[in-house]
């Protein structure tokens, strides 16, 4: 079975305290919400202390058209993407030796916050010594489910090609989509929650020439699930000046009712129950989302400690966030044979699950 051999993360330049983000939002929205003080409580109640952004806070006070936003997305994605790949392939705490980009057979590029053709991984391949035969698989539009889905697709690639080494590169600059003149509750909630992040994972087939002596998560199986006619749950409303966030308040309730049966059915396929899961690698979509996970799966809060820690220190970065959580689990060195369950949800509405076993 394929394994996740290395995970890296890169934080954008600007660290922003939640209190400063709240002050900026108040200054921009105070004249357009009658109950702005009450609505701004989402900043205090969201259990986020700080986030990382690709631009200084003053940049978000100004008006920017879609062309400027997207050009910044491309520039930052290439720059930070190169850094994340280099960290992933030269990771002494997780790999026995440095890996050359020339040893990589395929790159899955995951994003939903900007567009580029040629896609970002092609531009990165001009910056690093990849083989000209490296397969490129850009995946756009899966939002918060993207990081987990990227690992699932890399798993399937390595099943088909057991000698393969595959990168999953997830990059989001959610802050570049911020609309300072969009006076909706969805936009205000998004301003309190979303952040920028970059993560890269190396997945290797069971016959790969890359070996490691450290226990690593082997991907045992994956599952995807789609909810029909749910386009209004989350996503983008694309307008002339860029992406406008769609964020339904019903998301926690949907998770509570919909996720539990999905997970239980998935685990039963492998003769497991939620009691066999030692490590729950959950995408922290927000405080209410994590609580909904716990309710749906009958987990105690100790199962979501790491997800809550990532949310507190980084916010919701969309697709890279699950890889930030996974990296922390790797650094905690789970024991051989322990079982992990990875879960992430995204626009569609959809869910992605991975069953992991450390070996």
Domain assignment present for 211: no
Domain assignment present for 63: yes
Name the domain boundary from 158, 180, 204. 204
Which of 54, 88, 144, 200 is flagged as catalytic? 144
Alpha-carbon span 294 to 303, nearest angstrom: 8
Q: What is the pLDDT of the chain when averaged over all its residues?
A: 92
Do 130 and 171 belong to one domain? yes
- The CATH number covering residue 271 comes to 3.40.47.10
Do 43 and 154 belong to one domain? yes
Among 126-135, 215-224, 251-260, where is mean pLDDT lowest? 251-260
Domain assignment present for 287: yes
Do 259 and 116 belong to one domain? no
Do 184 and 137 belong to one domain? yes
Looking at the chain, which runs of residues are DSSP E strands? 3-10, 14-17, 50-53, 106-111, 135-140, 165-173, 196-204, 217-226, 234-239, 242-247, 279-282, 339-346, 350-358
Alpha-carbon span 353 to 47, nearest angstrom: 25
Residue 84 confidence (pLDDT): 98
Do 257 and 299 belong to one domain? yes
Residue 288: C-alpha distances to residues 125, 158, 191, 285, 294 (Å): 39, 35, 16, 8, 10
Q: Which domain holds residue 239?
A: 217-358
| Mean pLDDT computed over 159-183 | 94
Do 275 and 161 belong to one domain? no
pTM of the full structure: 0.95
Domain assignment present for 210: no
Tens of pLDDT, residues 283-315: 998 888 888 888 888 888 888 999 999 999 999
> By the 8 A CB rule, do 237 and 246 touch?
yes
Tens of pLDDT, residues 168-179: 999 999 999 988
Do 165 and 251 belong to one domain? no
Alpha-carbon span 340 to 357, nearest angstrom: 6
Do 125 and 263 belong to one domain? no
Alpha-carbon span 192 to 25, nearest angstrom: 9
Do 318 and 183 belong to one domain? no
Count how many domains the chain has.
2
> By the 8 A CB rule, do 87 and 8 touch?
yes
Residue 239 confidence (pLDDT): 80
Do 166 and 253 belong to one domain? no
Asked if residue 78 has pLDDT above 80, the reply is: yes
Domain assignment present for 321: yes
How long is the chain?
Answer: 359
Residue 167 confidence (pLDDT): 98
Do 119 and 166 belong to one domain? yes
Alpha-carbon span 322 to 212, nearest angstrom: 23
Alpha-carbon span 349 to 259, nearest angstrom: 11
Residue 123 confidence (pLDDT): 98
User: Residues 293-301: contacts with CB within 8 Å, 24+ apart?
Assistant: 293/255, 293/259, 293/343, 295/256, 296/255, 296/256, 296/257, 296/258, 296/259, 296/260, 296/263, 297/259, 297/260, 297/263, 298/274, 299/274
Domain assignment present for 327: yes
88 as an active site residue: the answer is no
Name the domain boundary from 204, 225, 246. 204
Do 268 and 308 belong to one domain? yes
Domain assignment present for 212: no
């Amino acid at each position: 079975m394929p394994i996740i051999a290395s995970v890296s993360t890169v934080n954008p330049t600007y660290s922003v305290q939640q209190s400063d983000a709240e002050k900026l939002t108040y200054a921009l929205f105070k004249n357009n919400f009658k109950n702005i003080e009450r609505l701004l409580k989402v900043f205090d109640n969201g259990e986020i202390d700080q986030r990382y952004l690709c631009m200084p806070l003053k940049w978000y006070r100004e008006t920017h058209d879609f062309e400027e936003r997207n050009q910044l997305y491309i520039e930052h994605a290439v720059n930070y993407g190169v850094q994340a790949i280099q960290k992933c392939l030269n990771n002494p705490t997780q790999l026995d030796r440095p890996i050359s980009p020339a040893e990589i057979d395929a790159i899955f590029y995951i994003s939903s916050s900007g567009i580029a053709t040629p896609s970002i991984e092609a531009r990165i391949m001009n910056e690093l010594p990849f083989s000209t035969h490296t397969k490129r698989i850009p995946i756009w539009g899966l939002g918060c489910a993207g990081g987990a889905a990227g690992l699932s697709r890399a798993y399937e690639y390595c099943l088909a090609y057991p000698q393969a080494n595959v990168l999953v590169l997830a990059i989001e600059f959610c802050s570049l989509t911020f609309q300072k003149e969009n006076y909706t509750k969805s936009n205000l909630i998004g301003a309190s929650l979303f952040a920028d992040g970059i993560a890269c994972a190396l997945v290797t087939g069971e016959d790969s020439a890359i070996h490691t002596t450290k226990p690593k998560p082997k991907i045992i199986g994956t599952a995807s699930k789609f909810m029909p006619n749910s386009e209004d749950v989350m996503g983008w409303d694309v307008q002339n000046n860029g992406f406008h966030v769609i964020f339904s308040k019903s998301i926690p309730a949907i998770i509570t009712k919909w996720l539990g049966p999905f997970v239980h059915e998935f685990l039963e396929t492998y003769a497991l129950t939620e009691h066999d899961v030692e490590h729950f690698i959950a995408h922290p979509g927000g405080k209410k989302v994590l609580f909904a996970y716990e309710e749906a799966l009958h987990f105690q809060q100790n199962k979501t400690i790491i997800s809550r820690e990532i949310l507190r220190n980084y916010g919701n970065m969309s697709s890279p966030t699950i890889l930030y959580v996974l990296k922390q689990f790797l650094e905690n060195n789970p024991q051989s044979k322990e079982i992990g369950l990875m879960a992430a949800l995204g626009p569609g509405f959809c869910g992605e699950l991975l069953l992991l076993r450390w070996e």
